[in-house]
């Protein structure tokens, strides 16, 4: 059992934060045992071709048979606004003895071939592999993922305000509870420790790829608890988008739905997931809408983001009216 003693802690010192790297690292477990993550099978199928060009040997090596991942891939995020680039920079700057020791905690004396050799080279390869993995398989879907995580944080804040800290902790997972000022996490198979959170606070991190409460392997790590976010079951479900009937008659059902949805920037991949159709089909409609002046587009990293134009706004408002 892992225990975090909250004695003397102010309510504000229990904080929520979102970590892109946390979910990126935990998601490699789906490669090893996809059957344990049935809710993410649609995402695994959608990204299968993209994964073919990645350094899959390194990604697979970042977890073991017990599905542990190295603690250095789970730095405590500073806020709900943490960016993946910031977290990868922190990993790249880690002391090499810390990297070696943490990999040994996961794999023991037998490091996988992809993680063997000079630690500085291994670390560079890990950071590069994770960055490429993010660009190919996470970035197109991150707005949708982040929305689920942010909704979870909002819910937890509401529970805390209405029912108190103990109820909020109990709502995180059956394996997490607050007893006499001590947070107890019983899901950690690696042994146990107890430490105070005085001066450090406790960070709660919702995850799309966690199946229960988990903590760092060692007490030296900053206090944090990763827990399964609410709403993961709806993450890959297609949305039902209603559009004005007159707009549907004018531009067609698919294009009318896209116009309604694009009040915020989104990629064709994300839109395809949300609508439950192929990216190819979405791209055909997006090109037609952009050619008509109803959408604007801009490149963002490896993705092209689309947004309803001023003309599109006026058309939608007129048809809705």
- 229 and 308 together in one domain: no
The pTM is what?
0.76
DSSP-derived 3-state class of residue 216: coil
pLDDT value of residue 12:
63
Our measurement of the distance from residue 102's CA atom to the centroid of its chain's CA atoms, rounded to an integer in Å, reads 22
pLDDT value of residue 190:
57
Closest CA to 235 of 204, 268, 276, 263: 276
DSSP-derived 3-state class of residue 37: coil
Place of tokens 């490149």: 299
Give the tens place of pLDDT for each residue, 144-191.
888 888 888 888 888 888 888 888 988 898 888 888 888 888 865 556
- 148 and 292 together in one domain: no
Q: CA 121, CA 41: separation in Å to the nearest integer?
A: 33
Q: CA 209, CA 236: separation in Å to the nearest integer?
A: 13
For residue 28, name the pLDDT band (cuts at 50, 70, 90). very high
How many angstroms separate the first and last alpha carbons of the chain?
59
Residue 294 has pLDDT above 80, yes or no: yes
DSSP string, 237-281: SPP-----HHHHHHH-HHHHHHHHHTTS-EEHHHHHHHHTS-HHH
Domain contains 238: no
Q: Compute the average pLDDT of residues 194-218.
A: 83
Q: Compute the average pLDDT of residues 220-248.
A: 82
- 158 and 46 together in one domain: yes
Q: Compute the average pLDDT of residues 19-25.
A: 95
Among residues 233, 267, 301, the one where a domain terminates is 233
Domain contains 316: yes
**Which letter does DSSP use for residue 177 in this model?**
E
- 250 and 174 together in one domain: no
Our measurement of the distance from residue 286's CA atom to the centroid of its chain's CA atoms, rounded to an integer in Å, reads 27
Q: Compute the average pLDDT of residues 48-65.
A: 93
Sign of CA dihedral 125, 126, 129, 132: negative
CA dist 321 → 244, 255, 294 (Å): 9, 18, 18
The pLDDT mean for the chain works out to 87
Q: At CA 31, angle to CA 28 and CA 36, rounded to 5?
A: 95
Place of tokens 């990216």: 279
pLDDT value of residue 192:
81
Q: Compute the average pLDDT of residues 64-88.
A: 89
pLDDT value of residue 93:
96
Give the tens place of pLDDT for each residue, 94-123.
999 999 999 998 999 889 999 999 999 999
Range of the domain at 159: 2-233
* Residue 8 vs residue 107, higher pLDDT: 107
Overall domain count for the chain: 2
pLDDT value of residue 97:
96
pLDDT value of residue 204:
93
- 124 and 252 together in one domain: no
Query: Residue 94: phi, psi to the nearest 5?
Result: -65, 145
């Amino acid at each position: 059992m892992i225990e975090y003693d909250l004695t003397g802690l102010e309510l504000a010192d229990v904080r929520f934060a979102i970590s892109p790297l946390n979910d990126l690292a935990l998601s490699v477990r789906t490669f090893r045992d996809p059957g344990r993550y049935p809710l993410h099978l649609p995402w695994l199928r959608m990204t299968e071709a993209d994964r073919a060009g990645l350094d899959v040997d390194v990604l697979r090596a970042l977890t073991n048979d017990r599905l542990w991942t190295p603690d250095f891939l789970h730095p405590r995020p500073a806020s709900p606004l943490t960016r993946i680039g910031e977290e990868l920079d922190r990993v790249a700057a880690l002391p090499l003895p810390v990297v070696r020791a943490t990999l040994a905690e996961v794999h023991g004396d037998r490091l996988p071939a992809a993680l063997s050799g000079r630690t500085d080279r291994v670390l560079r390869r890990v950071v590069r592999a994770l960055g490429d993995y993010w660009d190919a398989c996470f970035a197109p879907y991150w707005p949708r993922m982040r929305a689920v995580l942010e909704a979870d944080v909002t819910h937890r804040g509401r529970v805390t305000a209405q029912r108190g800290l103990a109820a909020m902790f109990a709502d995180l997972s059956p394996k997490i509870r607050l007893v006499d000022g001590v947070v107890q996490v019983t899901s950690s198979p690696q042994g146990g420790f107890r430490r105070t959170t005085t001066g450090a606070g406790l960070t709660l991190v919702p995850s799309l790829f966690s199946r229960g409460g988990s903590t760092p392997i060692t007490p030296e790590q900053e206090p944090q608890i990763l827990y399964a976010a609410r709403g993961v079951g709806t993450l890959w479900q297609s949305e039902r988008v209603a559009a004005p009937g007159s707009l549907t008659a004018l531009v067609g059902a698919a294009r009318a739905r896209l116009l309604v949805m694009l009040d915020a920037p989104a990629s064709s991949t994300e839109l395809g997931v949300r609508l439950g159709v192929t990216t190819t089909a979405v791209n055909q409609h997006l090109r037609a809408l952009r050619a008509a002046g109803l959408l604007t587009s801009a490149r963002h990293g490896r993705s092209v983001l689309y947004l309803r134009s001023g003309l599109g706004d006026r058309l939608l408002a007129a048809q809705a009216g």
